[in-house]
Structures are given as C-alpha cells and as structure tokens.
Amino acid sequence: LFRFLIPFGTGILTSIFCKPFIINWILISLVAISLSWLFTKNKYATGKYALRWLAGIPFYTAFFGIGCITGWLTDAGNYHSHFSAFTENSIIAIEASEPAAETKKGIRIFAKVKAIKNCEKWIPVRGNLVIYIRDTSHNLKVKYKDNLLIAAKYYAVSGPSNPEAFDFREYLRNKGIHH
C-alpha cells in the first residue's frame, strides 16, 4: 500500500507545482493501466523474481498519473466555468468563506464566487477570490456565509517583489485563490 502512495502523492505534488498538460497524463495512465493488466494476466508480476520489476514500472506510472489527474481536478482554475474566463468588470455574486478581516486600509474578504452577470443573465461559476474593500471607518460587517453582489475588477495575484520575501501569491494559491 505504501509503495503506491509514494507515486500517487508525487503525482499530486507534480500537478500542484508543475501544472502538467492533463491529456498527456490521462493517456499515459491509460497505457500504464493496460500494461499493468497485461503483465498481471501474463503472470510477469507473480512469476520469477527477476521479472517482477517489469510489472512494477507500469503500476507506479499509473499511480503517478492518477495522482497528477487528481491534483489537476481539484484546482477550480482548470475549468471553463471558472469566473476568470468571463469578462472583467462584471457584477459577481459571492459568498464569504471566512469572516471579514479588518486591515489598516479597509476590509479583506475571502469569498467563493457563485455567479457572474454577463449580458443581462446570471451564469453559475466557480472559483475563490480575495477582495479588498477600502473602508477605513470599518462600517461594513461581513460574516461567514454572507452573500454579496459586487461590481469588481479582478486581477491575478502578483508574486513577491523582493527575493526571499513571503510569497502571498503561493499562500493564496494553496487556498485555491488566484485573483
């Protein structure tokens, strides 16, 4: 069991950090699963000890590919229904995924995007967003699960400008937030 978790976990980490082309890994996994079945059927995996490694390669490759596919599927930014695929400067319906945090310049809200208004109709979308609202008086109180309609212009999160500085973009990406 542990032998299969290593390539599976490595595949997940590869999909997180390298953004592999998913079609390649689907095909490679299918070929590896087919070879694994063929080698098992022909008893290469249970036969002579000298040939057992031959059956192990496609098994490990299959689990690595399945890990890549699993990691890719969990990132909402890989889907066509992600809100960033639509026109910016639209009205978006969001749901606060955490209570709002007060900052020096205003309020920061982590939210899930539920729908976007595009050409006078609401389209269901997915994705996470961090929103900064300038409100130094802190009159706006947003609680967990509050629904809001906002007209927003969203940008991709920029990386650190100083070497060895805290990478806020990476922190947000690990939370599934790219904008």
- Helix (H) / strand (E) element for 66: namely helix 52-73
> pTM for the full model?
0.64
Determine the average pLDDT of the residues in 42-71.
76
Report pLDDT for 72. Answer: 82
Q: Provide the token pair at 134.
A: 């300038």
Percent of the chain residues topping a pLDDT of 70: 87
Determine the average pLDDT of the residues in 138-157.
80
Report pLDDT for 172. Answer: 80
SS3 content of the chain, % helix, strand, coil (to 5): 40, 20, 35
Given a contact cutoff of 8 angstroms between Cβ atoms, the answer to whether 99 and 142 are in contact is yes
Percent of the chain residues topping a pLDDT of 90: 0
Using the structure block, give the residue that is written with the tokens 């749901």.
95
Report pLDDT for 87. Answer: 67
Using the structure block, give the residue that is written with the tokens 């008893």.
43
Q: What are 32-53's pLDDT values in tens digits? A: 888 878 877 776 666 666 566 6
Given a contact cutoff of 8 angstroms between Cβ atoms, the answer to whether 32 and 16 are in contact is no
Q: DSSP for 145-177?
A: T-EEEEE----PPP--SSTTS--HHHHHHHTTB
pLDDT of residue 166 exceeding 80, the answer is: yes
Q: What are 76-135's pLDDT values in tens digits? A: 667 777 777 776 667 888 888 888 888 888 888 888 888 888 777 888 888 888 888 887
Determine the average pLDDT of the residues in 126-151.
81
